[in-house]
């Protein structure tokens, strides 16, 4: 089981390059960067974790910029969006961003995607909240066409474009893994339909621990004629708990990701040193 880490990169956190090097030195396999384009002052949807929205949500940098800096500073560390809000991004331009960072990182990019919870933020981008899931699917299907075809075209309900030429193509074939975020069952079903992995949060309001639902996810894969080998599970938001990590490993979870505060090295590095020992324990 692999272990990754995520941070909201801000002007008061560690830099992406600084954290990436520290993670690579300590045996982490991946670095993840979240995305929020902005935070509207109105709020029609509650923060999923409850309470006030943390300051880092307002201040987070663009993930493609931060992950490019992280990739340039490392040699083996994977870099991933955790998650990219595809319902807020143009698919043609996003396809080029994904292909470009995959090339620059020498094939180390993981494309974590999600459909978002902040209704006001989503609707500021001209996206209807109620149909965002279908829009996300069409945008991902359109990007797959762009990455894999010489003269791609796509004709959906929301995404439409005729034959075009666009380069570069991603280094990874056929494209970087599309790891779909979201809770069970709907996020899991979207991962089965068009993803190369499922990335739920450990705890959500309607379940105490997503690990208990992993067997049901495997059943969905089997019903669709797919296997976990091509759609593995990444659990987000893990604790510094050796027994819990060993249980995830024994369950067959492919990767776990810990969420770090948007803080400087004096706060973060001691945590990473402790995690380095846990990584050795769960190998």
Task: Please list the ranges in the chain whose pLDDT falls under 50.
Answer: none
Structural domains for the chain:
2-282 (3.20.20.30)
Q: Give the pLDDT score at 88.
A: 98
**Distance of alpha carbon 21 from the chain centroid:** 20
pLDDT at site 49: 78
**pLDDT value of residue 208:** 86
pLDDT, one tens digit per residue, over 211-231 is 999 999 999 999 999 999 999
- In this structure, the strands spanning 84-85 and 109-114 are parallel
Q: What is the pLDDT of residue 46?
A: 83
CA 137, CA 86: separation in Å to the nearest integer?
9
CA distance 153 to 204: 38
Residue 264 has a pLDDT of: 98
Please give the C-alpha separations between residue 127 and each of 22, 111, 115, in angstroms, as whole numbers: 38, 21, 11
| Whole-structure pTM value | 0.96
Token pair of 171 as six digits: 């280094």
Token pair of 264 as six digits: 């400087």
Between the CA of residue 26 and those of 206, 277, 279, what are the distances in Å? Answer: 34, 9, 8
d(CA 218, CA 208): 19
Q: What is the pLDDT of residue 101?
A: 98
- Quick check: 276 and 22 in contact, CB under 8 A? no
pLDDT at 50: 78
Other CB atoms within a 10 A radius of the CB of residue 47 amount to 13
**pLDDT at res. 207:** 84
């Amino acid at each position: 089981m692999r272990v990754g880490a995520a941070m909201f990169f801000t002007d008061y956190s560690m830099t992406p390059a600084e954290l990436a090097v520290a993670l690579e030195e300590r045996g982490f396999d991946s670095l993840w960067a979240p995305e929020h384009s902005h935070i509207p002052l109105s709020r029609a949807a509650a923060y999923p974790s409850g309470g006030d929205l943390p300051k880092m949500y307002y201040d987070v940098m663009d993930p493609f910029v931060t992950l490019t800096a992280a990739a340039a500073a490392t040699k083996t560390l994977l870099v991933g969006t955790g998650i990219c809000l595809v319902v807020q991004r143009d698919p043609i331009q996003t396809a080029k961003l994904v292909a470009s960072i995959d090339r620059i990182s020498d094939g180390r990019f993981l494309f974590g995607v999600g459909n978002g919870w902040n209704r006001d933020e989503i609707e500021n981008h001209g996206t209807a909240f109620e149909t965002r899931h279908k829009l996300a699917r069409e945008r991902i299907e359109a990007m797959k066409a762009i990455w894999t075809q010489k003269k791609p075209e796509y004709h959906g309900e929301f995404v439409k474009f005729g034959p075009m030429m666009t380069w570069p193509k991603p280094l990874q074939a056929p494209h970087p893994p599309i790891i779909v975020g979201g809770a069970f069952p709907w996020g899991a079903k979207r991962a089965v339909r068009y993803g190369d992995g499922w990335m739920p949060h450990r705890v959500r309001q309607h379940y105490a621990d997503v690990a208990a639902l992993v067997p049901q996810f495997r059943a969905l894969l089997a019903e669709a004629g797919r296997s976990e080998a091509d759609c593995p599970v990444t659990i987000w938001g893990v604790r510094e708990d050796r027994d819990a990590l060993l249980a995830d490993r024994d369950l067959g979870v492919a990767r776990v990701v810990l969420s770090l505060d948007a803080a400087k090295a004096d706060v973060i590095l001691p945590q990473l040193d402790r995690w380095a020992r846990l990584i050795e324990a769960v190998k």
